[in-house]
Amino acid sequence: MTALLLWSPYVRQLVNWAVTAGSVLLCLFVLHSRLPGMELLGVGPNWPLIWVVAWSVKRSPWQGAFAGLVLGLIQDGLTSPDPTHTISLALVGMLTALLQKQRYVQEDFISVALIVFGMAVLAETVIAVQFSLQSSHLMAQSTYRSLAEIWGYHQRIALSSAILSSLWAPVLYYPLNRWWQLINNIEQMQT
Amino acid sequence: MYIFRRWWDRHALTLGLACLALSTAWLLRQTQSAVVLELYQRLTLPFQAAGSPQAEILANAQVEELQQRLTELKNQNHQLQKLLDYKAVQPATAIVAPIVGRSADHWWQQVTLGRGSQQGIKVGAVVSGTGGVVGRVVQVTPNTSRVLLVSDPTSQVGVTISRSRHMGYLRGQSGNRAIMEFFDKVPDVRPGDVVSTSSFSQLFPPGLAVGKIESVDFGKSPAPEAVIELSAPLSYLEWVVVTPSTTTPPPQTDPQLDLQSDLQSDLQTDLIPFAPTGLTP
């Protein structure tokens, strides 16, 4: 803390952004691996979603939606841009910020896990809706999944993704939140 | 003007950073996040497949694959002897690649390989592993490549029942199961039959082991369906073999488009021999 105080504001900003971008990159790496304990029915935790929730909890809805958009674009690049992940993640960011959790609940761990649980279900539902719209559009080509397939699969992954993501959420949320709080405190002290 | 200046002074940095973040994300999306994948490959290099803890499962799968291939070859041989029209298939050069990452999303069944265009892998190359066919390469970066697994619902492959030569196509069911839809109304098939890629498939070479029939549903409309147990243990594989495809589809960056053309070409070619019988009264 004292060391950080001595740095010039610009260097501190730069380090802050580096830490933020680094945490995103870390999320993307972990997303590809399936470490022991990170898999349930072949589904892993949704790390970009956890990051967006961690970012949005104490920020404005627009900042949340923007983070969702950025992470969604990156995840599109990593999998397939059609259907896009930007809508679900931007929605998650916006809703998380609108919840205004810190106003009502001081406690951090369980409430964040609960938010992640709900948001994971929401995100998978949004993607399932996108798939359904696609399949009704492109009935002629059977390349796309049928409605029964989409929603059957949705049930399975929404639940396992929500459970795993909410259990792993504190791992990302705790250090990131500590860091952002520290930077915030220093900035308030200096102004 | 003054108000604008003040606003600009306060928000210039945030705005600049926001633009930077958005443009970086857009760039990553357009380049299929190649930078991220490359970095990931570098980082995981020391951890890549040192030993295989699931050796037993792989060994079992290999035995099963060999048995299935034997059955397939026996039947093929029988057919060829009848036809007396044998064309030798040149074995292509194969690239062995480690699996370094699983799919980055729950909706797609993909894996990332630790070899890329620098090692000679191209989009459309066929990926097989211990146990049989694994999938197709849909995107390559200099040192990584992304494979769409056969278990993905959008991955559709022309397949045939090895014993009776009845054709159909396979739809992934995410996991170790797939659905085979037959072209015939009353196919000659029973549980335990070996399924392999059909000679009409343009994307996969014929005769690759795919799996075994687990159960058949003859009542399904419009065509009977069978549940297939894939023989390659997709979630345990650590190394795969990449063989360049004999037919090169036009290079497309969008895997979705690629898949569509993939299915259409597969289906069209698969359906041609069937169409005339369907038209005759």
Whether pLDDT at B281 is above 60: no
Establish if B276 belongs to a structural domain: no
Whether pLDDT at A139 is above 60: no
- Within 8 A by CB and 6+ apart from A179, the residues are A16, A19
Q: Are both B118 and B250 inside the same structural domain?
A: yes
> Is the distance from CB of B123 to CB of B144 less than 8 angstroms?
no
Q: Among B167, B258, B154, B263, which residue's Cα sits nearest to residue B206? A: B167
- Within 8 A by CB and 6+ apart from A178, the residues are none
pLDDT tens per residue across span B135-155:
889 888 888 898 988 888 877
Tokens (6 digits) for B127: 């990926």
Q: Are both B189 and B216 inside the same structural domain?
A: yes
| pLDDT range class, residue B59, cuts 50, 70, 90 | confident
> Is the distance from CB of B184 to CB of B270 less than 8 angstroms?
no
At B65 the pLDDT is 87
At A42 the pLDDT is 73
Q: Which stretch, A50-59, A76-85, A131-140, B148-157, has highest mean pLDDT?
A: A50-59
Domain of B255 in residue numbering reads as 55-87+94-150+235-263
Q: Is the dihedral of CA A60, A61, A62, A65 positive or negative?
A: positive
Calculate what percentage of chain A has a pLDDT beyond 90. Answer: 9
Q: Number of folded domains in chain B? A: 2
Q: Chain B: nearest CA to A143, how far in angstroms?
A: 5
| pLDDT range class, residue A137, cuts 50, 70, 90 | low
The residues spanned by each domain of chain A are: 2-190
Establish if B132 belongs to a structural domain: yes
Average pLDDT, chain B: 77
The percent of chain B in helix, strand and coil, each rounded to the nearest 5, is 35, 25, 40
At A12 the pLDDT is 82
At B37 the pLDDT is 85
Q: Are both B144 and B59 inside the same structural domain?
A: yes
Comparing B235 with A159, the larger pLDDT belongs to: A159
Q: Are both B114 and B133 inside the same structural domain?
A: yes
At B14 the pLDDT is 85
Q: Chain B: nearest CA to A28, how far in angstroms?
A: 8
pLDDT tens per residue across span B122-134:
888 888 888 888 8
Whether pLDDT at B215 is above 60: yes
Residues in chain A with CB shorter than 8 Å from the CB of B37 are 78
Q: Residue B178 belongs to a domain with what CATH number?
A: 2.40.10.350
pLDDT tens per residue across span A33-42:
877 777 777 7
Whether A109 and chain B come into contact, CB under 8 Å, resolves to no
Q: Chain B: nearest CA to A82, how far in angstroms?
A: 7
Residues in chain B with CB shorter than 8 Å from the CB of A82 are 254, 256
| pLDDT range class, residue B23, cuts 50, 70, 90 | very high
Whether A29 and chain B come into contact, CB under 8 Å, resolves to yes
The mean pLDDT of A60-77, rounded to a whole number, is 89
Sequential DSSP letters for B125-158? -EEEETTEEEEEEEEE-SS-EEEEETTSTT-EEE
Burial class (CB in 10 A: 0-12, 13-18, 19+), B261: middle
Whether B227 and chain A come into contact, CB under 8 Å, resolves to no
Q: Where do we find the tokens 């009776």?
A: B164
The mean pLDDT of B152-161, rounded to a whole number, is 83
Establish if B176 belongs to a structural domain: yes
Comparing B271 with B224, the larger pLDDT belongs to: B224
Comparing B251 with A57, the larger pLDDT belongs to: A57
Q: Are both B82 and B132 inside the same structural domain?
A: yes
Establish if B18 belongs to a structural domain: no
Q: Chain B: nearest CA to A17, how far in angstroms?
A: 9
The topology (CATH level 3) of A2-190 is Arp2/3 complex 21 kDa subunit ARPC3 (1.10.1760)
A63, closest residue in chain B (CA to CA):
B18
Calculate what percentage of chain B has a pLDDT beyond 90. Answer: 1
| pLDDT range class, residue B280, cuts 50, 70, 90 | very low
Q: Residue B116 belongs to a domain with what CATH number?
A: 2.40.10.340
Establish if B167 belongs to a structural domain: yes
At A90, phi and psi to the nearest 5?
-65, -40
At A51 the pLDDT is 92
Q: Are both B134 and B195 inside the same structural domain?
A: no
Q: Chain A: nearest CA to B184, how far in angstroms?
A: 18
Residues in chain A with CB shorter than 8 Å from the CB of B153 are 145, 149, 153
CA B41 to CA B219: how far, in whole Å?
A: 48
Nearest to A82 among B22, B28, B256 (CB): B256
The mean pLDDT of B47-70, rounded to a whole number, is 76
At B40, phi and psi to the nearest 5?
-60, -40
| pLDDT range class, residue B269, cuts 50, 70, 90 | very low
At B276 the pLDDT is 35
Whether A28 and chain B come into contact, CB under 8 Å, resolves to yes
> Are A74 and B33 a contacting pair at CB < 8 A?
yes
Residues in chain A with CB shorter than 8 Å from the CB of B107 are 79, 127, 131, 153, 157
Q: Are both B207 and B253 inside the same structural domain?
A: no
The mean pLDDT of B37-45, rounded to a whole number, is 84
Q: Chain A: nearest CA to B28, how far in angstroms?
A: 6
| pLDDT range class, residue B39, cuts 50, 70, 90 | confident
A85, closest residue in chain B (CA to CA):
B105
Whether pLDDT at A72 is above 60: yes
Whether B106 and chain A come into contact, CB under 8 Å, resolves to yes
CA B117 to CA B126: how far, in whole Å?
A: 14
The mean pLDDT of B193-217, rounded to a whole number, is 84
Of the residues A15, A34, A62, A80, the best mutation for testing chain B's interface (the one with the most B CB atoms within 10 Å of its CB) is A80
CA A96 to CA A90: how far, in whole Å?
A: 10
Residues in chain A with CB shorter than 8 Å from the CB of B29 are 73-74, 76-77, 81
> Are B30 and A75 a contacting pair at CB < 8 A?
no
The mean pLDDT of B202-208, rounded to a whole number, is 81
Q: Are both B140 and B173 inside the same structural domain?
A: no
Whether pLDDT at B114 is above 50: yes
The mean pLDDT of A165-169, rounded to a whole number, is 89
Q: Are both B209 and B222 inside the same structural domain?
A: yes
| pLDDT range class, residue A105, cuts 50, 70, 90 | confident
Whether pLDDT at B263 is above 70: no
Q: Are both B113 and B226 inside the same structural domain?
A: no
Q: Are both B59 and B141 inside the same structural domain?
A: yes
Q: Are both B59 and B176 inside the same structural domain?
A: no
